[in-house]
Amino acid sequence: MFDNIHLYIIIGIMGSITPILDKMNLEILDWSEYLFIREIIFFSFLALLVFYNKKTFSHLLDINKKQFKTIFIGSMVSVFYVCLIFKTFSLEFKKQAISKIVTVMIATTMIATFLMDKFYFNSNFKKENYLGFVFLTLGIYFLKGF
């Protein structure tokens, strides 16, 4: 069913460790400073990866306007998404438990992905998938409190 289940598990574990480290770093730095440092480290790693693999990017010149527009919009959404996460973390980690914040974010992502998959990509789902959607929605409601 899931060919790469080990990758899903590793990503899940890393996804649970990252907010803990973010909380510790946001106690020291402002969210924009921390994000700046993180992105510099990410860019450095990416540069090393590209250098190690000896990749050339000449094929990127063949991207047409429609493809570029999609790549640009996706990149801008990603930038906004990451900035919003760190701003939210800096505000909420002082008031709420990490697990509550991250759980709501992940459940909301799952719900939104399900809806996009259903209505934009016209995917077919089983009754169990709809039941999972209902439980995720109820989970957010119960985590928020009455």
pLDDT in the model for residue 107: 87
Return the amino acid letter for 90.
S
Residue 1 has pLDDT above 60, yes or no: no
pTM of the model: 0.73
Alpha-carbon dihedral of residues 13, 17, 22, 24, nearest 10 degrees? 180
Residue 101 has pLDDT above 80, yes or no: yes
Cβ-Cβ contacts under 8 Å for 81 (sequence gap 6 or more)? none
Go through 91-121 and write b for each residue having 16 or more CB atoms within 10 A of its CB, e for each that does not: ebbeeeeeeebbebeebeeebeebeeeeeee
Residue 146 has pLDDT above 60, yes or no: no
pLDDT in the model for residue 42: 93
- Cα separation, 17 vs 20, in Å, equals 5
Would the CA dihedral through 94, 99, 103, 105 be positive or negative?
positive
pLDDT, tens digit (0-9, with 9 covering 90-100), for 31-74:
999 999 999 999 999 888 888 887 777 777 788 988 999 999 99
pLDDT, tens digit (0-9, with 9 covering 90-100), for 11-22:
888 988 988 899
pLDDT in the model for residue 78: 92
Q: How much is the average pLDDT of 80-107?
A: 86
For the chain, give the mean pLDDT. 88
